[in-house]
Structure 1
Amino acid sequence: MSSFLHSLGRRAFAARKTVLALWLLVLAVGGGAAGLLNKGMDNTVTIPGTEAQEALDRLSVTFPQTSGASAQLVVVVPGGVRDPGVRREVERAVGELDGIEQVAQTVSPYATDIGGQISDDGRAGLITIQLDGVATAIDQATKDRIAAIAHGLQQRLPAGSQVSHGGPLFAQNFPGLSIVEALGLVIAVVVLVITLGSFLAAGMPLVNALIGVGISMALIFVATALGPITATTPLLALMLGLAVGIDYALFIVSRHQQELAAGSPPREAAARAVATAGSAVIFAGLTVIIALVGLGVAGIPFLTTMGVAAAVAVGIAVLVSITLVPALLGFAGNRLQPRQRARRSRREPVGTRFFTGWVRAVTRFPAVTVLAVVAVLGLATVPAAGLRLALPDAGALPEDDPARVTYDLVSEHFSPGFNGPLIVTATIVTSTDPLGLMDDLKREIERLPGVAEVPLATPNPTADTGIVQVIPEGAPDSAETKQLVAEIRALHGHFHDTYGIDISVTGFTAVGIDVSDKLGAALLPFGVVVVGLSLLLLTMVFRSVAVPVKATLGYLLSIGASLGLVTLVFQDGWLADALNVERTGPVISFMPIVLMGVLFGLAMDYEVFLVSRMREEYVHTRDARAAVTTGFVSSARVVTAAAVIMFAVFVAFVPEGDANLKPIAFGLAVGVFVDAFVVRMTLVPAVLVLLGERAWWMPRKLDRALPSFDIEGESLREELALADWPRPGSDEAVACEGLWLADPDTGRPVYRDVGFLLPRQGVHVVRGADETAVSALLLTLSGRLQPDRGKLKVLGHALPARAAAVRSRVAYVDAGDGGVEPVRRALGERPAVLVLDRTDRVSDPGARREIRDLLAGAGCTAIAGTTGLADLRDILPAAEAATTTDLRDDAVAPARVLSGAVGQRLS
């Protein structure tokens, strides 16, 4: 990966105009497609498989006039709505509403037999409007007409009267952006200038993020043509895209400056920055993407869509960062080098002293630091135990929104439950007295605790389905209403035994309760997936057991603290006014699972960028304590800048942001702050110092079984160091020197001190008394086994850094196992090098001659292995010119060294 990114960085730097033009073209095409195909946002939430949704789907067939969207007009008159003049005007408005094409039915407040409502004090009346179709099917003209009729009615009523329109139809709020969100970008620019030292360098991450976000937004709006997308989706993608786009570019530009300071020319500095920091960016981006796509574990379509859209935004940010940033560095050329070096020399000692002092302070008494951090974050987590979840309704809208005004007026003059009535459906097809049955159901439900009233109980025209409208005493998002839904559903068996019917509870409120319950149930499996993933990925990256466990426990502390503070602010009201929280209460249902997914990826970002430097120092010095200090100081400045930028972007969406996004943005801002500064920069150094060398321990079997991610570009450095070895411009098929492989358990040599040069299309023979030792060396030369030390290049590729490239061009064949046919198949794939193992086991003279003829016509480099001094002239072309390596007799090769390597072929 690092070698590929190094090449990509060099090419992007050289072709900077083309790269920039291509990304701008993609942005322009995406924007144009979004303008043509955009179908608008849809905040309708459906959860297939839940009782409420299934009942609603059945009603759309059996009782369609009750399954569509609904709206309300609340009329408040100081003298009372029963005044004849007032009643005349209200009935006129009801008639006007009935005349709207998409209105299925309008219930007058005076029609008390079919659900009309007048408040106990007579001052308020409620007009209920049932529409023909779901909310997304109702056009804007219908909404505007309802609003106009409400306004006209208020004009005709006595002075001091109030008429407001609202209800579920108007509860959908499609948020936009305000100037407050732009403040996050302003803070980001300031931090970038301070960190990178110039406006030129600071502008690159910003340009990178804006182009990536623009493309992501375009793709989301194009996707609205394929299916419904909630209004929160593009805002979440925007927030994440900006944050990671800026941060990922910051990491690359900062590494570019370090390479310039070390004396690399601009093009090579950009290439090395992309190869090293770019590798970490790809890994960090993948963790965020996997966590976001993992939101699909909940099995909720709108949440899966939200996760995929945000994952696409992060993926585009990664792609833009590793291609556009080196192109932008190409435009800067040498202009960054002298100015940055001068500014760094004046500023760096202060930063170094601060971070050195910080890490020494938190590691001086590491046990005390660990206990203090765990205690503080544990205390912050306690409120999360009382977190309640619900889908937002009109009560979460701004106070001056008509739907919010209606919501508050209904709560004031009627039971709060009128803002979210329940619908109990019953299959009454077997009843001989449907009207009497519905009356019986009404009486039984009215007696339940938590029921304010039951204004309507009626069968449909075909008498196969009945509905009972239930008004709870509590608000739609209250715990009392949730308990009432559970109690009604618990009576299913009673109603079936008594009346022979099946009941279901549905309606907007019941759907919201089912959504919250399903999301709550998904938290544990999602958490297991995320935690398990973090353990696996970090184990592969850091080759350690303790580091992944520590990282995962730190992530859980960050999540707990975030959820606890969200509960205090948005549910309990702490600092609610300061953060412009319109209404406290239950938090939007999908906040915890989105927070867990997104914060997981971001936490792993900081873990990778901070701890990878510590691991690099430990590998080089084997001084565990010094590695923590040196690695921390070298990476803390950039991690601090990245965390401040993310915090600023997230927190900017809190004061004026969408009510649905506010708790998510606040939780992410708190989570980033806690995870970066409290967990990663305080707890992590203390834990690593406390563990010492044990922090980097890993069982050998696990180390061999897991793939390795070279995110710091160690293999690239080895490859660059061998670029002019064995001599500048050399083009040997194989060059090796001092190769050594030992048994990992005993340390005894398998082979040692092997070195030779083999030209292209040359022939080489490896001989030894131990057949397994010969096979081990041949597997090493074919890129399938890694030596413990020594230099090795095959076809110009340094090993083990470019093992994958070598394996794709070098075929390994066990001739003693299959004879001629495996050789024929391998040569059919046209390898540049053919490695023949156990050639002395091919005993048939005809087979040996056939192999020689095949090799003579292939024109590839040949390497053969044999034991003893067997004559290979009859199996190798030009055998008389072959070079030879004789393995030492005291080399002993345990068979387990070759586990998983023998038998690999060109593929």
Structure 2
Amino acid sequence: MVGLWLLLLVVAVGLGTTLNGKLTTEFTVPGIESQQAQDLLRKEFPAAAGGTARVVFEAPSGRQLTSDAAREAIAASLKQAAGVPGVVTVSDPSKSGTLSRDRTIGYADVGFGKPPTDIPQSAKDKLSDALDPARDAGLRVELGGSVSTPATEVGGPAEIVGVVIAFAVLAVALGSLVAAGLPLITALVGVGIGVLGVEFVSRFVEMTNTATILALMIGLAVGIDYALFIVSRHREQLAEPDSDVRDSIARATATAGSAVTFAGITVVVALAALSAAGIPFLTVMGLAAAATVLIAVLVALTLVPATLSFLGERLRPRPGKSRPGRRDRTPGAWGLAWGRTVTRAPVVVLVVSVVGLLALALPARGLRLGLPSNETQPTASTQHKSYELLAKGFGPGFNATLIMVVDGSDVPAAQRQGLVKEVGTALRADRDVATVAPPMATKDGSITVLGVVPKTGPDATATTDLVHRMRDDATRPVDRAGGTAYVAGATAGAIDISAKLSGALPLFIAIIVVLALILLMIAFRSLLVPLKAVLGFLLSIAASLGAVVWVFQYGHLSGLFQVAAAAPVVSFLPVLLIGVLFGLAMDYEVFLVSRMREHFKHTGSAAEAVTHGVARSGRVVAAAALIMAAVFGGFIFNHDPIIKSIGFALTFGVLIDAFVVRMTVVPAVMALLGRYAWALPKWLDRVMPDVDIEGASLPPRPAAETPQGAGTGGGRAV
């Protein structure tokens, strides 16, 4: 089994590194107005399909770009830029008039003949080197545009620290360095196969760069957690002196492994349900992460038991030495104490927890969605600096330039010019429009493009309102004439994608809620337990979104989390957060409540079952949550604003759901419900499948035949 997984890893490395595809940084949604306009422009203006690097120049203090020295330096730089492989057009600020009023800031557009994703890094580096004459002349030079979008990278110090923290948590939770290393190694094997497999699939399917990062984040976190659950159960059983190693491995796989299977399938289904939004890039992200989670489940069920058999007796806990006057600490003592504390005053605990979660959720009322602009890139990056220079020289709306596309193919040729003039007049009359660029048309005049610069930035509410007014009012003359008008551009595209995702959110939440009710009803044969789990999940989501809005949209603690600028929340983050956090929340629900149900079935005592479940699973669930938080938390300090916000949302969501909802609210509610928690109508009990995730149907555990047999794996396995 170990050899099989290593072979799969070698194959994945070969395919993922040599036959991988190209990842894109663009988020496109077929069918939305801005995308229709973009497709039309690429057809009629092929040059528009190529990537563009916007070179921004700023003169030193007290000087202007119109001075002879500055003009010569800029001309020399642009001449060298024209010689970069792939460059087809280069504009000159002094000739095109792209200078600020005070002549201190200007920009030149360097156009490539290929889309941004097809432009090699070597060409980008040569372009940057070509601008050295301007730098040597004392000019400040920054780069923006689609070509300069930085690649998303992982494996930095923050991510490594996250893995180190995860290892430390594993060592404390399992009480063994050998046992702590096993989940890390098996998780890395699984996530390596998953992520490299996704890289290979990107050769055939268009995929954003965030898809592989999400697969890495989720795959690594659940891979460690799933192995932890099985290893922890195995060591718990080995703590009994007469236990047999092979039998313990089989029973750990039959009990904790069954829970891993159920929880993993829940995560896979939740991530696959992202396709319900009807947005291709989100569907691909969900399926990529789901495939990695599925591999993590298979690794936990096969590679982990195989590795446990190699370790044999080395994983058996050593009996602690008794010290005079010191009371021996029983396993699960702190969990038992916590469970008793919660169940001693369940009403108070429940009220305080729910009120606290609702308070955290309050900022979510002002949630605004969008896509990150260069303003949200790290403050030290050239992309962020170019954004600031353009806003300084040409106004904040220059970075939010909109494109009005007038399709007059069905309009008589004699009327087209007058129609475009009427549209331009209507646009200039709008209170939020700064300037309207002269129209550009195709040779036959059927398609005309007008650039519209708003007075406000891309993330401002006024800019969103302007887009809606342009579509409602400025397009009326075109509609009356029988033509079609579109509003496009990056800002309009972000608005359209956000609206599309907002519309899909209610359906997605409904699918998740129904899915949770059905799966948990099958798992626990109860009506109230699934209902409680879903309500707790919704509280976790609300609190997490509130925290994301408070930090990223309102700008609080921006220095701590290195947030470059307050901006709307990434448009697909709520859907992604719901899908991922649902799966992880159900993980903790299954592992915690399954131990409660196991004890209830054996003893019939509902009150004892609650404290027993927290005592037995509390430590493992807490460790699993801390591990996930450590892994996700490492991505908070990634330079990419999308990865940063996703990492923060998942970190906060996991901690809130595990420690407040599952470890506090769930025991309090279960204590209040008592035996009613396990009630199920007889007719429903008859039609539902019987899923034994607690291993109640296993035969009695046999003792080891001999000490030698236990050490070598001898004895009967289940």
Q: TM-score, normalised by structure 1?
A: 0.74
Q: How far apart, in 2, do the equivalents of 1:168 and 1:348 lie?
A: 64
- Matching residue's letter, 1:546: L
Q: How far apart, in 1, do the equivalents of 2:267 and 2:100 lie?
A: 52
Q: Does 1:180 align with 2:158?
A: yes
1:673-708 C-alpha deviation (Å, 9 max, x unpaired): 111111111111111111121111111111112222
User: Does the 8 A contact of 2:537 with 2:657 survive in 1?
Assistant: yes
Q: Does 1:695 align with 2:673?
A: no
- Matching residue's letter, 1:217: V
1:211-253 C-alpha deviation (Å, 9 max, x unpaired): 1111112212211211232222222111111111111111111
Q: Does 1:128 align with 2:112?
A: no
User: Does the 8 A contact of 1:44 with 1:135 survive in 2?
Assistant: no
Equivalent residue number for residue 193 of structure 2: 215
Equivalent residue number for residue 354 of structure 1: 334
Equivalent residue number for residue 675 of structure 1: 657
Equivalent residue number for residue 276 of structure 1: 255
Equivalent residue number for residue 382 of structure 2: 402
Any unmatched runs of 5+ in structure 2?
703-717
Deviation of 1:493 (Å): 5.3
Q: 1:247 to 1:141 in 2, by over 3 A?
A: closer
Q: 1:344 to 1:106 in 2, by over 3 A?
A: farther
Matched residue SS, 1:504:
strand
Matched residue SS, 2:698:
helix
Residue among 630, 652, 676 paired with 2:634: 652
User: Does the 8 A contact of 2:73 with 2:133 survive in 1?
Assistant: no
Q: How far apart, in 2, do the equivalents of 1:637 and 1:408 lie?
A: 49
Equivalent residue number for residue 423 of structure 2: 441
Q: 1:133 to 1:40 in 2, by over 3 A?
A: closer
Matched residue SS, 2:64:
coil
Q: How far apart, in 1, do the equivalents of 2:80 and 2:145 lie?
A: 18
Q: How far apart, in 2, do the equivalents of 1:96 and 1:712 lie?
A: 70
Q: How far apart, in 2, do the equivalents of 1:672 and 1:343 lie?
A: 36
Structure 1 stretch 142-151 or stretch 313-322: which is displaced more?
Answer: 142-151
Equivalent residue number for residue 502 of structure 2: 520
Equivalent residue number for residue 73 of structure 1: 55
Q: How far apart, in 1, do the equivalents of 2:182 and 2:140 lie?
A: 54
Matched residue SS, 1:432:
helix
Equivalent residue number for residue 168 of structure 1: 146
Map 1:473-552 onto structure 2 (within 5 A).
Answer: 473-491=455-473, 494-497=476-479, 499-552=481-534
Deviation of 1:99 (Å): 5.5
Deviation of 1:53 (Å): 0.7
User: Does the 8 A contact of 2:544 with 2:652 survive in 1?
Assistant: yes
Equivalent residue number for residue 767 of structure 1: none
Q: 1:623 to 1:693 in 2, by over 3 A?
A: same
Q: 1:343 to 1:62 in 2, by over 3 A?
A: farther
Which one scores higher on RCO, CA 8 angstroms, separation ≥ 6? Answer: 2
Equivalent residue number for residue 305 of structure 1: 284
Map 1:147-162 onto structure 2 (within 5 A).
Answer: 147-155=128-136, 157=137, 159=138, 161-162=139-140
Equivalent residue number for residue 740 of structure 1: none
Equivalent residue number for residue 387 of structure 1: 367
Deviation of 1:614 (Å): 0.9
User: Does the 8 A contact of 2:633 with 2:651 survive in 1?
Assistant: yes
Q: Does 1:368 align with 2:348?
A: yes
Q: Does 1:452 align with 2:452?
A: no
Matched residue SS, 1:110:
helix
Matched residue SS, 2:194:
helix
Residue among 442, 450, 462 paired with 1:468: 450
Equivalent residue number for residue 291 of structure 1: 270
Residue among 590, 599, 608 paired with 1:608: 590
Q: How far apart, in 2, do the equivalents of 1:454 and 1:348 lie?
A: 79
Equivalent residue number for residue 709 of structure 1: 691
Q: How far apart, in 1, do the equivalents of 2:639 and 2:92 lie?
A: 37
User: Does the 8 A contact of 1:72 with 1:167 survive in 2?
Assistant: yes
Q: 1:105 to 1:483 in 2, by over 3 A?
A: farther
1:292-328 C-alpha deviation (Å, 9 max, x unpaired): 1111111111111111111111111111111111111
Deviation of 1:524 (Å): 1.1
Deviation of 1:551 (Å): 0.2
Deviation of 1:203 (Å): 1.4
User: Does the 8 A contact of 1:110 with 1:117 survive in 2?
Assistant: yes
Residue among 237, 240, 251 paired with 2:215: 237
Q: Does 1:254 align with 2:254?
A: no
Seq. identity, %: 43
Matched residue SS, 1:423:
strand
Deviation of 1:343 (Å): 7.8
User: Does the 8 A contact of 1:197 with 1:343 survive in 2?
Assistant: no
Deviation of 1:434 (Å): 4.1
Q: 1:348 to 1:698 in 2, by over 3 A?
A: farther
Q: Does 1:87 align with 2:87?
A: no
1:313-367 C-alpha deviation (Å, 9 max, x unpaired): 1111111111111111111112222x44448999982664322221222122212
Q: How far apart, in 1, do the equivalents of 2:666 and 2:603 lie?
A: 20
Map 1:712-731 onto structure 2 (within 5 A).
Answer: 712-717=694-699
Point out the structure with max Rg over C-alpha: 1
Equivalent residue number for residue 712 of structure 2: none
Q: How far apart, in 2, do the equivalents of 1:524 and 1:151 lie?
A: 52
Q: How far apart, in 2, do the equivalents of 1:343 and 1:654 lie?
A: 42
Aligned residue pairs, count? 696
Q: 1:94 to 1:352 in 2, by over 3 A?
A: closer
Q: How far apart, in 2, do the equivalents of 1:352 and 1:146 lie?
A: 61
Structure 1 stretch 125-134 or stretch 248-257: which is displaced more?
Answer: 125-134
Structure 1 stretch 70-79 or stretch 246-255: which is displaced more?
Answer: 70-79
User: Does the 8 A contact of 1:44 with 1:136 survive in 2?
Assistant: no
- Matching residue's letter, 1:250: L
Structure with greater proportional helix content: 2
Deviation of 1:259 (Å): 2.2
User: Does the 8 A contact of 2:479 with 2:485 survive in 1?
Assistant: no
Q: How far apart, in 1, do the equivalents of 2:204 and 2:687 lie?
A: 43
Deviation of 1:147 (Å): 2.1
Q: How far apart, in 1, do the equivalents of 2:85 and 2:160 lie?
A: 42
Q: How far apart, in 1, do the equivalents of 2:699 and 2:469 lie?
A: 67
Residue among 685, 692, 696 paired with 2:667: 685
Q: 1:418 to 1:307 in 2, by over 3 A?
A: same
Q: How far apart, in 2, do the equivalents of 1:61 and 1:656 lie?
A: 37
Matched residue SS, 1:118:
coil
Equivalent residue number for residue 193 of structure 1: 171
Q: 1:343 to 1:402 in 2, by over 3 A?
A: farther
Residue among 567, 571, 577 paired with 1:595: 577
Equivalent residue number for residue 708 of structure 2: none
Equivalent residue number for residue 400 of structure 2: 420
Any unmatched runs of 5+ in structure 1?
1-18, 722-800, 802-907
Q: How far apart, in 2, do the equivalents of 1:434 and 1:85 lie?
A: 45
Q: How far apart, in 1, do the equivalents of 2:322 and 2:623 lie?
A: 15
Q: How far apart, in 2, do the equivalents of 1:641 and 1:407 lie?
A: 43
Equivalent residue number for residue 599 of structure 2: 617
User: Does the 8 A contact of 1:474 with 1:480 survive in 2?
Assistant: yes
Equivalent residue number for residue 326 of structure 1: 305
Q: How far apart, in 1, do the equivalents of 2:622 and 2:673 lie?
A: 24
- Matching residue's letter, 1:442: G
User: Does the 8 A contact of 2:231 with 2:252 survive in 1?
Assistant: yes
Deviation of 1:455 (Å): 2.0
User: Does the 8 A contact of 1:41 with 1:174 survive in 2?
Assistant: no
Matched residue SS, 1:661:
helix
Deviation of 1:618 (Å): 1.6
Q: How far apart, in 1, do the equivalents of 2:528 and 2:520 lie?
A: 10
Matched residue SS, 2:398:
helix
Equivalent residue number for residue 62 of structure 1: 44
- Matching residue's letter, 1:480: A
